[in-house]
Structure 1
Amino acid sequence: MRVMYEALMSASRAHAKWEIEMSNNIVRNRKHLLILFIMMLPLIIPAIGHAANLPGFIGGKNAYGPSFYSPTMFYGSILVGVCAGLITGCIGAGGGFIITPALMSLGVKGILAVGTDQFHIFAKAIMGTVIHKKLGNVNVPLAIAFLVGSGIGVTAGGSLNRALFNANPVLSDFMISTVYVIMLGFLGVYSMIDFIKARKSGNQGDVHGEPTDMTPLAKKMQSINLAPMIKFDEDIVPGGRKISGWFVAFCGAVVGLAASIMGVGGGFLTFPMFVYGLGVSSFTTVGTDILQIIFTAGYSSIAQYAIYGYIFYTLAMGMLVGSLLGIQIGAATTKVVPGVYINGFYAVAITAGFVNRLFALPEKMVEMGYISMSTSTSSLLASIGTWIFFALVFIFAGWIIMAFIKGIPTLRAESAAAVSSEGGSH
């Protein structure tokens, strides 16, 4: 279990690096900002008049009957994006884990929360990815095998979500919430343990590392000669390494299935499966992961959710803008706040997401007739979970923003020193 947690955290940090890079590519490029402004126009123009009269074709309740829509959801999506961005930029891990639970707490049906999160990830990927910089670490046969499996997994996950929703919308919400309870509960417990250990030991930084040698599992997998064999990492290991394409496709299928069910990018699974399970170098894994995120999120959000009406364009754009702002502030804050406290808040935020979905389960089970409990009691539990979640996440966000504001003089001094040192070197 501990090894699994280490793998997931390494993966989460790798995915966070990708998100930070995407954010920087968008914010620092005028063309990308112009594209973002154009994408936001359908929201800005009607909002100037009356926010409640957003046209149906961009995600109003008339267009998407499965979920109630209110302007509060749109403003809430921006705040959710900011908080997720703060976690990603400040902690360098896992901000995306809170998005789907947060949207569901705002009143969005689970399947729409998943589809909307996928579309938000896809929009960020196509706007922020500078592919030509990463082509050097992409192994084409490895990527093809992975994407074939990913396509199968995404199709299966999207079909399962839609089938459950069509059969019983409450069952769909229950299944998505259960998946998050298991995932966030696991991460929350171990991240809290790590925070306590780090604080006792006085360790102010990150306590995790990345494996430098292949794991026994990776060695075993590479020893199995099952055609077609894919050669990779020739530039890193003399003669390169080989792995069966079937194993790569299987990993892709698992990543695609999880991404399309949970509404995340899938990077939190790609990294541990490639590095720990298949023995692929992190250098090659990063390049492959960027391609898979674009493909997985794009195919999932459009082919599995958007064409069936299961995305809120309005909320996706709100999250995108919010996350860009949050990532910039969060990344800057790491220079003025001790890492141990940031990791502590991350543990609290993840645990809050776990409590939120856990407290939502009784209400769903009552509606399906699985347990006997008064409607008022189950509704109260769901409300308590929602308030705990948003209170803790907003406390975290407020703390980070205040730390950022107080640290502005320090950040300016560092920036001025960097500029002067560059000037002196020329």
Structure 2
Amino acid sequence: MEWMYMLMPIAGVKLFWPGLIILGLGMGVIGGFFGMGGAWMITPGLNILGFPMAFAVGTDIAHMAGKSLISTMRHGKFGNVDYKLGLIMLIGTVVGMEMGAQILMSLERIGNIDLVVRLLYVVLLLFITWMVFSDVAKRKAKDRAALAAGKEIDHKAVGLEWHKTLHKIKIPPMVHLNVSGIYCSMWLPIFISFATGFLAGILGIGGGLIRMPSLIYLMGCPTHVAVGTDLFEVMISGLYGAATFTYKGRTELVAAVIMLCGAAIGAQIGTVATKYIKGYGIRIAFGWAVIGCLTSIVLKLIGGWVPNLKALCNGAATVVVLGVVTVMALYIATGMVKGAAKEIAEKKAKA
């Protein structure tokens, strides 16, 4: 089975290359669908496959930039991208990402990078899981209350409404974001992008893992616009991140190219799927994907804390992360096929 492992010349490690293809193709589908680079799975996935954490971070950011470009072009055709909002957010993203990257390099020098990054992932994923499913539960409660009162269900209603409080902050300059249907202080998207950029630099994510839900819950963007706008932001911040990590010698270009080949195909599928699976369907699927990623990271941590279980936990973590990517990609692809078939049938019926 030696032929299934490839030497990565810059990182100096041998990797299971079919795993790179699965990650690239699967996360191309998932990234195009959820509006993010997919580093929330790929960075821990590369680490689980054998990359040192700093190389996992840099390599994923390089792969993410190219994939997000493809997805953004498709979302732009559907009118899902708020370019004005994305450009404003770049201000905070670039500053935050560079600060995070510098801290990451400091952690690598003192030898604490793997433990700190994994623990940060666990905390972040737990919070996002709570946020998504709390939102879903509150939305369902509103639907039940409307039905009980004999009213029609408001399909535009949301569970968490944090954005309404934040929109009351009127610190000038104020901006109209027409695509998102938002009027707010320009400092709100800048602050959100700085926070997500900072975490992106430390965790090796394009920020999409937290920026997409932040655009929904803190900015108040419609889900499909949050997806497209986040990908636009991921594309640009990813290009900057790729440049800074390559300069620091922490990007394995061979692995990035292998993943990008699969991602180029997968991104087309995921982007088109948002035409047929909208709103809370996207949010619920996102929540379950986060849970799967969280499980794989916890298994990796247990393997580090209990030496006797290290081989078993590492193997289980690999199966979980690749399994989640595969299942989510199949779910999204199936939704796209069913939606397209229904659309074609309706057109034929009208003809």
Counterpart secondary structure, 2:24 = helix
Say if 1:405 and 1:230 are closer, same or farther in 2 by CA, change over 3 A: closer
Q: Is the CA contact (8 Å cut-off) linking 1:119 and 1:316 kept in structure 2?
A: yes
- The counterpart of 1:69, out of the listed 13, 20, 36, is 13
State the AA in 2 paired with 1:312.
E
Q: Does 1:232 align with 2:179?
A: no
Q: Does 1:112 align with 2:51?
A: no
Superposed displacement of residue 106, structure 1? 0.7
Q: Percent identity?
A: 22
TM-score (norm 1): 0.60
Say if 1:262 and 1:124 are closer, same or farther in 2 by CA, change over 3 A: same
Superposed displacement of residue 115, structure 1? 1.2
Say if 1:89 and 1:235 are closer, same or farther in 2 by CA, change over 3 A: closer
- The counterpart of 2:243, out of the listed 302, 309, 322, is 302
Unaligned runs of at least 5 residues, structure 2: 145-154
Q: Is the CA contact (8 Å cut-off) linking 1:189 and 1:351 kept in structure 2?
A: no
State the AA in 2 paired with 1:148.
I
Superposed displacement of residue 107, structure 1? 1.1
Say if 1:381 and 1:195 are closer, same or farther in 2 by CA, change over 3 A: farther
Which residues of 2 match residues 397-416 of structure 1 at below 5 A? Answer: none
Q: Is the CA contact (8 Å cut-off) linking 1:188 and 1:354 kept in structure 2?
A: no
Which residues of 2 match residues 342-421 of structure 1 at below 5 A? Answer: 350-361=290-301, 378-395=306-323, 417=345, 420=348
Q: Is the CA contact (8 Å cut-off) linking 2:28 and 2:270 kept in structure 1?
A: yes
CA distance in 2, matches of 1:241, 1:408: 33
State the AA in 2 paired with 1:301.
A
Q: Does 1:249 align with 2:190?
A: yes
Which residues of 2 match residues 20-59 of structure 1 at below 5 A? Answer: none
Relative contact order higher in (CA < 8 Å, ≥ 6 apart):
2
Residue 37 of structure 1 corresponds to none
State the AA in 2 paired with 1:69.
V
Counterpart secondary structure, 1:129 = helix
Q: Is the CA contact (8 Å cut-off) linking 2:89 and 2:193 kept in structure 1?
A: yes
Residue 35 of structure 1 corresponds to none
Counterpart secondary structure, 1:221 = coil
Say if 1:405 and 1:362 are closer, same or farther in 2 by CA, change over 3 A: closer
Say if 1:419 and 1:259 are closer, same or farther in 2 by CA, change over 3 A: same
Unaligned runs of at least 5 residues, structure 1: 1-49, 55-59, 367-377
- The counterpart of 1:277, out of the listed 218, 225, 238, is 218
Q: Is the CA contact (8 Å cut-off) linking 1:259 and 1:266 kept in structure 2?
A: yes
Let me know the Cα RMSD of the aligned residues. 4.9
Counterpart secondary structure, 1:70 = strand
State the AA in 1 paired with 2:67.
K
Residue 126 of structure 2 corresponds to 185
Which residues of 2 match residues 131-142 of structure 1 at below 5 A? Answer: 137-139=82-84
Q: Is the CA contact (8 Å cut-off) linking 2:174 and 2:186 kept in structure 1?
A: yes
The more displaced of 189-198 and 118-127 is 189-198
- The counterpart of 1:266, out of the listed 189, 204, 207, is 207
Residue 220 of structure 1 corresponds to 168
Counterpart secondary structure, 2:168 = helix
State the AA in 2 paired with 1:220.
K
Larger radius of gyration: 1
Superposed displacement of residue 78, structure 1? 1.0
The more displaced of 281-290 and 115-124 is 281-290
Q: Does 1:146 align with 2:146?
A: no
Q: Does 1:313 align with 2:256?
A: no
Say if 1:163 and 1:196 are closer, same or farther in 2 by CA, change over 3 A: same
TM-score (norm 2): 0.70
State the AA in 1 paired with 2:310.
A
Superposed displacement of residue 391, structure 1? 2.8
Which residues of 2 match residues 9-20 of structure 1 at below 5 A? Answer: none
